Amino acid sequence: MFATLLVLLGAGQVAAAPTPPRVAQPAPLRYPEDGAGLVVVVRLEVLVDEQGKPAEVQVLGTDPADAPPGFAAAALEHVRALRFVPAQDGGVPVAARVGLTLRIAPPASLPAAASPRAPSPVSPPPSAPAEERFSAVVRGAARQGERAVSDLRIEIGQLRVVPRRSAGELLTLAPGILLTNEGGEGHAQRVFLRGFDAREGQDMEFSVGGVPINEVANAHGQGYADTHFLIPETIASLRVIEGPFDPRQGDFAVAGSAEYRLGVDERGLRLSYRGGSFNSHRVLLLWAPGCTVSRVLCRPGTFGAVELGQSDGFGQNRFSQRAAATAQLDLGLGDWGSLLVLATHYASRFKSPGVVRQDDYEAGRIDFFGSYDLQQGGDATRTTLSARLEARLGSFELMQQAFLTLRNLRLRENFTGFLLDVQRPNQAPRGADPQRGDLLDATTQELTVGGRGAARLRGTLRGLTQQLEVGYLARHDRNQAAQLRLRSGTVVPYRTDFHYAAGQTNIAAYVDLELRPLRWLTLRGGVRGDFFHFDIENRCDQIDSNVPRAPLDVECYSLDRYGYRNPTARRTATGVLLQPRITLQVEPLRGLVLTGSYGHGARSADLLFIGDGDDTPFSSIRAAEGGGLLYRVLGPLELTVRGAFFYTHVDRDLLFNQTLGRNTLAPGTTRLGLLGAGRLLGPWLDLSLSVTWARATFDDTGLLVPYVPEVVVRADGAGFGPLPRLRLLGEPLGLTGGVGLTYVAPRPLPLSERGDPYVLLDTQLRARWHFVELGVMIENLLDRRYRLNEFNYVSDFRSRPYPTLVPERHFIAGPPLTVLASIALHADALLGELRRKR
């Protein structure tokens, strides 16, 4: 028997893993009577208790999927007889849930069934050769709340069945996160988190397998992070840290960070189709080679996936098309380490409805799901390559990663209608003369190259693990960004708002120390230093002219009051910032961890606001959090409950300005709040509930920060497992169902108003029989008509006889009842069936 222990490393860091359980006492494994000479891989999940006993064993699946049931029974029998050295956290035994993969091959006396002329099975021998592989590590208290109570490592697990159609929506598994979208299917989602309107990434750092996603110079908004290129089925887990408490968190980690890890647990070839409401169609081809195909390629990190999608959308001007391809190769290098190579490609084209004025909707001048400007929409492409090497050299763990991203984005949005266009002398208000309108055309082209690395030294002092990690990030972005205004209808550009080419370099280093002076006391922390260099060529430095007799519409003007000038201007600047972060954990009782965290974070400056030679004006963030986490194993159930109080202060915030179509500087803000969350995990259910209250105010006036929801409630529930005694043509029927509930309290809007609260209920049911899986997904089950986004600002969409120049309520409609049916074919099981029939 061969056992390999694989510690999965979190993206962007060398894993700070506690010691997983390991087999202490082997047990016999019999080859099943109905084995038919087959080689079968059985995947199990085992809850190893603090005494090292397998308290709970569950078969997750077999490879091939249609393997005779005797393999699962044999594997269960084998694992229940095993005894483990329990997982340890700083020398303290803790319960842990691990994944276990058994490869059961016939004894040498039996020929393998791969041969088409396999002989009839013979009497089983007393034991069978097998390989065991741990494929996941502790998912218990030891991995929770390392940096803060709200440091969440979220295994998607069975909650995948709760309707979520994009990678971004998985974020809602973390407490307090609300997502909205103002720009259509291909537009990055707007994130609200703990009192922050993090926009599309300005206040939240996103990364995928260590590759940064935030765009430093996006024309729509600094930090724009679009995760639509991720195929949801390829996301294995998510780490969300709400707040800047980990020295590895970098630029934009103001409200927090989200780190996606890619992988596919269910191995095999899968072809699925989903379609339904609004002429929506989606095809997914996913191949995650099983261990019967290749032992090299059967690690969970190895897969290839292609996704094609199209939809007319749920209202006017919401058409979208998208294609995404992701391939990842996870090569094990024996005990030495691993190599992870990732390639993603993505392209999308989408229409966007934009906002609807409340007064127009109430007067029947526009439909709830209508659109004023049918030219709104966008195009997005993204290509990413990454290679990541992880190595272990004795007590050292090393990681080195290089990445490259090419990104193009075009967004056409009209927030204000016809408010801002300069009139020609011969035009009549609302007359026959065409006004050009305020349709913005923002384009961004960005090339990102960079690398990151880390080295961790681990040792013990009085039997307790102590760790030191140093790491770095080096990133360079070359980009061009421009925003034009287009003529209504003809989309001919008539004005340049800005146009620049820029280079930004970010070099960061950190030191992170983990000290455990006592079994119940842990001190984690360190400091991060960031250096930024900006080189900006403003290609349209003089938009207007104040030169007498100059024409009305001038841009990139080459004349000022002193004579000729070059219309471009160059600015360079640098900035340095040190950010200390520290966490203190106390474990007064087994399974109860009290955590206090403090962190200093920063957001680099928007290129538009940088002057030549200036020290870069960072937005500085100070955050603190205190609370507790309780972890309990209750028979077959695993319960995690957490509660925390948080405080954040930002000295220079950003707010979205609809008139400018992008973020603008705002005064300092302070946030206070509470969160409570729990997750209950069992052999047939997975429940998650979170409630977050946050209050965000401006420092100078004490007024509320608009748009930020004060209360967000999210509940997810999944039930799963085979239906007892229910078989079809001799094959068991498996059923999985999920429900998701979102409640958003009335959001403060400008002018002392409140938005409407809403409750959303989504559900999905899947039934798996043999190689076929059928599903029905229903979003907005109650068919609530709700406003996903609400605003108060001035616009004039020519919906009234005369210009409207005072703020009015605007909204973006949320999706109505949506029903989608799906079918998935698990080709490995199908091929197995065909083989058997032959």
Partner 1 sequence: MMRASSLLAVLALVGGCEVTGLSRLSFLLRAGGLDRPAAGPLSWVTRAGWDVRLEEARVAVGPFYFNVAPPLQGLARSAGPAQVLARLLLPAAHADAGQEHTAGGRIVAQVTHRIVLDVLSPTLVTVGRGDGISELVRTAELWLLPDDRAGISGVLPRRSVAYVLGEASRAGEVVAFAAYVVLQESAVPGQPLERLRTVRRIPAELPLSDGGTVELRVDPRPWLDQADFSDLLGYPVEDGRRVARPEDSVGRALSHGVRLAQGVYEFRWRPPGDAGEPPPN
| C-alpha span between 352 and 441 (Å, rounded) | 13
418 binds partner 1 (CB under 8 A): yes
Nearer to partner 1, 49 or 796 (CB): 796
428 binds partner 1 (CB under 8 A): yes
425 binds partner 1 (CB under 8 A): yes
| C-alpha span between 231 and 326 (Å, rounded) | 8
Q: In terms of DSSP H, where are the helices of 43-182?
A: 69-80
Nearer to partner 1, 616 or 795 (CB): 795
Structural contact between residues 456 and 511, judged by C-beta atoms closer than 8 angstroms: no
Residue 414 Cβ, how far from partner 1 at the closest point, in Å?
14
Residues 544-573 that bind partner 1 (CB under 8 A): 552
Nearer to partner 1, 703 or 823 (CB): 703
Nearer to partner 1, 101 or 488 (CB): 488
Residue 438 Cβ, how far from partner 1 at the closest point, in Å?
9
| C-alpha span between 646 and 828 (Å, rounded) | 49
Interacting span for partner 1 (CB under 8 A) from 77-85, 338-346, 631-639, 802-810: 802-810
Instruction: Provide the β-strand partners of residue 738.
Output: 718, 764
Residue 199 Cβ, how far from partner 1 at the closest point, in Å?
18
Total residues contacting partner 1 by CB under 8 A comes to: 51
How many Cβ atoms are within 10 Å of 19's Cβ, its own excluded? 21
Return the structure tokens found at 459: 């040792």
Structural contact between residues 721 and 683, judged by C-beta atoms closer than 8 angstroms: yes
796 binds partner 1 (CB under 8 A): yes
Instruction: Provide the β-strand partners of residue 530.
Output: 508, 577
Residue 663 Cβ, how far from partner 1 at the closest point, in Å?
18
599 binds partner 1 (CB under 8 A): no
705 binds partner 1 (CB under 8 A): yes
| C-alpha span between 361 and 520 (Å, rounded) | 60
Nearer to partner 1, 111 or 429 (CB): 429
| C-alpha span between 367 and 393 (Å, rounded) | 64
805 binds partner 1 (CB under 8 A): yes
Nearer to partner 1, 430 or 570 (CB): 430
Burial of 125 (0-12, 13-18, 19+ CB in 10 A): middle
Return the structure tokens found at 182: 């103002």
Structural contact between residues 216 and 210, judged by C-beta atoms closer than 8 angstroms: no
Residue 488 Cβ, how far from partner 1 at the closest point, in Å?
12
- Estimate to the nearest angstrom the gap between the alpha carbon of 676 and the chain centroid: 21
Interacting span for partner 1 (CB under 8 A) from 15-23, 158-166, 617-625, 798-806: 798-806
Out of 296, 363, 422, 774, which residue is the one contacting partner 1 (CB under 8 A)? 422
Q: E strand or H helix at 674, and its extent?
A: strand 669-681
Residue 420 Cβ, how far from partner 1 at the closest point, in Å?
5
Interacting span for partner 1 (CB under 8 A) from 38-46, 428-436, 472-480, 681-689: 428-436
Interacting span for partner 1 (CB under 8 A) from 29-37, 170-178, 571-579, 701-709: 701-709
Nearer to partner 1, 476 or 800 (CB): 800
b (16+ CB within 10 A) / e for 339-363: bbbbebbbbbbbbbbbbbbbebbee
Residues 95-154 that bind partner 1 (CB under 8 A): none
b (16+ CB within 10 A) / e for 694-704: bebbbeeeeeb
423 binds partner 1 (CB under 8 A): yes
Residue 704 Cβ, how far from partner 1 at the closest point, in Å?
5
The pairing of strands 151-155 and 235-241 is: antiparallel
- What x/- string results for residues 624 through 663 when contact with partner 1 is judged by CB under 8 A? -----------------------------------x----
Out of 67, 96, 419, 718, which residue is the one contacting partner 1 (CB under 8 A)? 419
Residue 693 Cβ, how far from partner 1 at the closest point, in Å?
7
702 binds partner 1 (CB under 8 A): yes
Torsion, Cα 214 209 379 435, to 10 degrees, reads: -20
Out of 693, 720, 791, 811, which residue is the one contacting partner 1 (CB under 8 A)? 693
Interacting span for partner 1 (CB under 8 A) from 173-181, 388-396, 505-513, 799-807: 799-807
| C-alpha span between 834 and 830 (Å, rounded) | 6
Residue 752 Cβ, how far from partner 1 at the closest point, in Å?
4
Interacting span for partner 1 (CB under 8 A) from 29-37, 72-80, 474-482, 709-717: 709-717
Instruction: Provide the β-strand partners of residue 281.
Output: 275, 310
Q: CA quadruple 556, 558, 560, 566: dihedral positive or negative?
A: positive
420 binds partner 1 (CB under 8 A): yes
Q: Which residues contact 432 (CB under 8 A, 6 or more apart)?
A: none
Residues 346-405 that bind partner 1 (CB under 8 A): none
429 binds partner 1 (CB under 8 A): yes
Return the structure tokens found at 180: 């909205």
Out of 807, 816, 819, 827, which residue is the one contacting partner 1 (CB under 8 A)? 807
- CA proximity to 825, closest of 273, 112, 31: 273
713 binds partner 1 (CB under 8 A): yes
Out of 121, 243, 453, 706, which residue is the one contacting partner 1 (CB under 8 A)? 706
Interacting span for partner 1 (CB under 8 A) from 262-270, 387-395, 559-567, 697-705: 697-705
Nearer to partner 1, 493 or 807 (CB): 807
| C-alpha span between 145 and 151 (Å, rounded) | 5
| C-alpha span between 515 and 541 (Å, rounded) | 53
Out of 237, 414, 435, 542, which residue is the one contacting partner 1 (CB under 8 A)? 435
Interacting span for partner 1 (CB under 8 A) from 139-147, 283-291, 422-430, 829-837: 422-430
Q: E strand or H helix at 101, and its extent?
A: strand 96-104
Nearer to partner 1, 180 or 697 (CB): 697
Region of residue 442 (left: phi > 0; alpha: psi -120 to 50; beta: else): beta
Out of 613, 701, 724, 837, which residue is the one contacting partner 1 (CB under 8 A)? 701
Interacting span for partner 1 (CB under 8 A) from 440-448, 526-534, 704-712, 772-780: 704-712
Nearer to partner 1, 120 or 701 (CB): 701
Return the structure tokens found at 304: 């290839």
729 binds partner 1 (CB under 8 A): no
Structural contact between residues 375 and 358, judged by C-beta atoms closer than 8 angstroms: no
Residues 739-778 that bind partner 1 (CB under 8 A): 743, 745-746, 748-753, 757, 759
How many Cβ atoms are within 10 Å of 377's Cβ, its own excluded? 25
| Peptide linkage before 64 cis (omega within 30 of 0) | yes
Residue 711 Cβ, how far from partner 1 at the closest point, in Å?
4
Q: E strand or H helix at 459, and its extent?
A: strand 439-461
Residue 713 Cβ, how far from partner 1 at the closest point, in Å?
6
- Report which residue type is found at 320: S
Residue 626 Cβ, how far from partner 1 at the closest point, in Å?
18
Torsion, Cα 829 832 834 836, to 10 degrees, reads: -140
Interacting span for partner 1 (CB under 8 A) from 78-86, 604-612, 705-713, 821-829: 705-713
- CA proximity to 204, closest of 226, 233, 180: 226
Name the residues that contact partner 1, by CB under 8 A. 418-430, 435, 552, 659, 693, 695, 697, 701-706, 710-711, 713, 743, 745-746, 748-753, 757, 759, 792, 794, 796, 800-808
